[in-house]
Chain A
Amino acid sequence: MSQPRVVVTGIGALSPIGVGKDAFWEGLLRGENGIREIQVMDTSKHRTHRGGEVRSFGILEDRWTAEEHRLGRASKLAIAASREAWNDSGLAGVKVPPRRIGVACGTTSGESQIFEEEVAEFLDRGHEGLNINRLEYFPVDVIGSSIARHLGVQGPVNTLTTACAAGNYAIGCAADLLRSGAVDVMIAGGADMFSQTAFTGFNSLLAVAPECCQPFDKLRRGMLVSEGAAMLTLETLPHAERRGSHIYAEVLACGISNDAHHMTAPHPEGLGAVTAMHNALRESGLKLEEIDYISAHGTGTPANDKVETLAIKKVFGARAYEIPMSSIKSMIGHTMGAASALEAVACAMAIQHRVIPPTINYRNPDPLCDLDYVPNEARNHPVTVALSNAFAFGGNCSTLILANHARH
C-alpha cells in the first residue's frame, strides 16, 4: 500500500486538572479530581452545582490579537491548545506550504455561551437586545476557522459536530486527509467551553451526578459537565521523519459507526460501539491480543458504563478481563467535544511514558461492570497499542487506535 502512515508530533491540552499537556498528564497520574463548585454560572436553581472548569488559557493567556480578543471561549480554548500543539511539534520554524496544512476540530456545544447571553437579552427585550457584533462569533464554524487564522494555514478546515464523539471524528477525518495525500500536516482535536445549555440539559435528563464522577462504580450517579480542549499535530510519517520531529505515537485507525437506535440512549446491546471497535481493529490490522490499554468513554452514567463494558466483552471475549481500561472522565468530568481529544492525548502519553492513568472515585464493584478499571491509582504498564472509545448523542460511536510508531 502506498498510503503514508500518520503520526502524532505535537500535543496541546487544557483541562480542569491542568493547563498545558504536561500539567494535564501530571494531574492524570496524580489522580487529581478537577470537579469543583461551578463558578462560571449561578447554579442555585439547578439540581446540581458541580462541574469542571479550565482556569487559564495557558501560553496564550494575555496574547490575543484584537480580533481574537472578540472570540468566544470555545474558540479561545481551541486556539490555545492548537498553539501549544503547533509549538510542541516544532513546526514554528519549518517551512511547510500553508495549503498543505489543514484543521479539523470537533465540538459539541460550540460557542454556546455567546448564544446563552444573547438569547437571555432576546427573551428579555426582543431583538433590540441583540448585539450582532457578538452574535457574529456564534456560528460554530468560527472554531475551526479561528484556529486556521491564528496559525495562518490554508488547507482544508473542518468543524465537526458529532457531539461527544467529535474529537475522535476530527482526528479520524484528519488522518484520512493525510493518508489521501491532500495534506502533509493537520491540527486536529476538540474543544468545548462550559455550556449552560449542556449543564441544564443533562440535568433535565437526570444524567448528572451531584458530587463526583464514578465510572464503573456500582453507586455511580452520572456524568459531570466540564470544559476543555486538546489538539494534536498529525503528520505523515515521511514528513515527520524528514524534519527529524519527535513522534509521540502513530494513528493506526479510527473506526466509526452509529447505533441507528435513539437520540439519547445507547443501544442496549452496544451495537454501534461494537461495530466501531470492529471497524477500528480491522483497519489497524491488529489482533485482539495486541491491545494493551483501553481508554473508556466511561461517562459515569448507569447506562453508558454498563453497555460499554458489555460491548468490550463482545469484541474481546475472555481477553476483555486482561486489558486495563480506565476513564479519565473520573478526574476531569465530561469535556464534551474535547473529551475524546483529551483521551487521545492521554493514550499518546501513556504510550510514551508506559504508565496508565487511573479511574478515580472507584469504591464499589458492580457485577455488571467487572473489568479491570485501573482503580484509583496510576499503574506502570508498557503500552504499545491503546484503544480509545467515544460515544455520543444520536448514536454516534467512535474508536481510535494509537500505537508506538516504532513497535515492530
Chain B
Amino acid sequence: MRVDGLSFAYPGAAWALCDVSLEIREGEVVALLGPSGSGKSTLVRALAGLVPHFHGGRFAGCVEVAGLDTRRTRPADLAGTVATVFQDPEDQVVMALVTNEVAFGLENVGVPATEIVLRVEAALGRVGAGHLAAKRTTTLSGGELQRVCLASALALEPRLLLLDEPTSQLDPHGAEEFLAAVAELGCAAVLSEHRIDRALSLADRVLYVEEGRVLLDAPVDEAQSWLVTNRPRYAASPSDVDDALCYRNTESGSVRPVVKLERVSFAYGSTSVLEDVSLEVRGGEIVVLEGPNGSGKTTLAKLAAGLLEPDVGRIERFGRAAYLSQDPGRYLVKERVLDEVAFGVGGNVGRARGALDQFGLGWAAERHPRDLSSGERERLGLAATAVCEPDLLVLDEPTRGVDPDRKTAIGDWLLARAAAGTAVVVATHDRTLPAHRRMRLGGEVPVAA
C-alpha cells in the first residue's frame, strides 16, 4: 500500500490532509495517532477509497492499494482487498442476524455460495464470537457487535485492514480482547486509536498526524522516544497517568450531600440492573462509577440525575442536577451551536457564549452543530451541560473517543467544578480522570489514601 503526496479537502472546507506520503508493507501493523480532527479518520477513508469517491472534495496525489489506484477504483471494488471497521458498530451493521451480517460482504464480493458458510464460521471463531452466530444483531452489546464487525472484515480475508477507533465503544476488557484478536490476524493493519498504550503494544510502526500532516513515521521504539519529547501525553503509560491525575485531597468535598441514594434497586422489565445500591455524593466531590459494560453504571448515573426513578429505595437530591449522556454529539437539538448551548438556560445567549469560549468553541457559535467534527460535538455537549451551572453534574463516558490533550482539559475542568462546590458523578472506564472516590458497582473504593 502506497500513499504519495496525498492532499484532500472536504467540499467547502480547508485541507484535511496535506501532502501525506507513506508505505505499508505486507503484514505490518501501523498505529495511527493524533488529536481529534487531525485527519486520522480522513486518512483511513482515503486508504479505503471512500475519500474521494463517497465524500467528494478536492483530492491531490495518489493512493495505491495492492496495485489499484483508488482514484480509478471504487470503494466497492476495493472491498475484499481492503476491509474497514468503523468507530460506531451501530452505524455499520446492515443485517438483522449475525451470520447474515458476516456473510453480507462475502456475498457482495462474489464468494461462491458454498464457501460463504465456511468463511463466516471461521471468521466468527477467530474473534471468539462463534456463540453469537444465531443471535439478532439488535440484541448484542456494543462489545459483541464490534467483534461481529471485525469478523465481517476478517471474513473478506483482506490484505489491508483499516480500524478507525474500533475500541472507543468498549470497556477495557472488551478493548483488550478486540485488540488481541487483531494481533492474531497476520494481515497489514492501520489502527487509529486513542488508547495509546494498547495501540503501541500492538504496532510495528507509528504514524503521528496533526493538522493533516504526518509529523512522525517511525518504528515503535523510535516513536516512543519522539512522543516522550514532543507529545508527552501520547507517550504516558496508563499507570503514570493515573498517578499524575488522581486528585489526592482527602479533605475535599463539603459535608453537604447533594444527592443521596439509599438501598436503590432498578430493573428494565424483568432484567435487574441494580440491586440494593447506596451512594452519597457531597458538594465539591468527584465520584467515579466503574464497572464493565452492563454493570449498571449508566443506570446509576441516570438515577442520580433524576432521569430514572428507582423501583425500590429512596433518592434525595439537594439542588439542580444536569446530565450529559454518552455520545452527546448524536443528540443535538438546535440548528445553531449558540442556540444549542443557550437551550438549557432559557435562551440566555450571554451565558452560552461564555460556555462556548470555555470549551474552545467560541469560533463555532454561528455554525450548525452537525457541521462540527465528532470531537467538537463532544465538547459542545459538555458546554451545553456546563452552562446550566448545576449543583450536581452527572457525566456518562465523557472521554469516550477523546484524545489525550482533550482528556486532560476535561479532567482539569472537573477539578475546577469540584473546587467551586459542584458534586460530580462520572460513569467511565477511563481511569485517567481525577476522582475522590471510585465506586466499583458492588463495592466502594476510596482513591485517596
A binds B: no
Q: Which residues of A contact B (CB under 8 A)?
A: none
Q: Which residues of B contact A (CB under 8 A)?
A: none
